Amino acid sequence: MDDYPLLNLFWTMLWLFLWVMWFFLLFKVITDIFRDHELHGWAKAGWLILVLLLPYIGVFVYLVVRGRSMGQRDVKQAEEREKAFQDYVQKAAGGAPRHSPAEELAKLSSLKDKGDLTAEEFDKAKAKLLA
């Protein structure tokens, strides 16, 4: 360890981190190029050629020109995934949408009024619903 000082280790780790982050950014830009439905064939090809042949300049120009819409596409994709997940959970749970606590209390009250629930059962269900 004496022949490789701590400062050199720090610089090596810093450069490794920056190298990994560079590849992450490069792949993020390339995936955004293919994900964007507003760009058509030649525009996608042009951006891809620029990013691959002149990577530093290409990524910088892409982020300056299309960075804001890149963020908007990320948000839109996250919202679509969340909606798909919620739909799947709802479907897996039985498909019936959940009712508000007020609607549930109204149902409990009508069951109590009909005599299907005792006052004790009503109080337990109401406490569970409001908890």
Quick: pLDDT tens for 37-94: 888 899 999 999 999 999 899 999 999 999 889 989 989 999 999 999 998 888 888 7
Same domain, 47 and 60: yes
Residues 6+ apart with CB under 8 A from 18: none
Same domain, 41 and 18: yes
Rounded distance, CA 120 to CA 58, Å?
71
The phi, psi pair for 66, rounded to 5°, reads -120, 15
Q: What's the mean pLDDT in 106-122?
A: 86
Same domain, 65 and 129: no
Query: Tell me, what's the pLDDT at 130?
Result: 81
**Looking at the domain assignment, is residue 125 inside a domain?**
yes
Query: Tell me, what's the pLDDT at 129?
Result: 81
Tokens 């963020």 -> residue: 71
Contact yes or no for 100/129 (Cβ under 8 A): no
Same domain, 91 and 120: no
Number of domains in the chain: 2
**Looking at the domain assignment, is residue 49 inside a domain?**
yes
**Looking at the domain assignment, is residue 36 inside a domain?**
yes
**Residue 126 — pLDDT band, cuts 50, 70, 90?**
confident
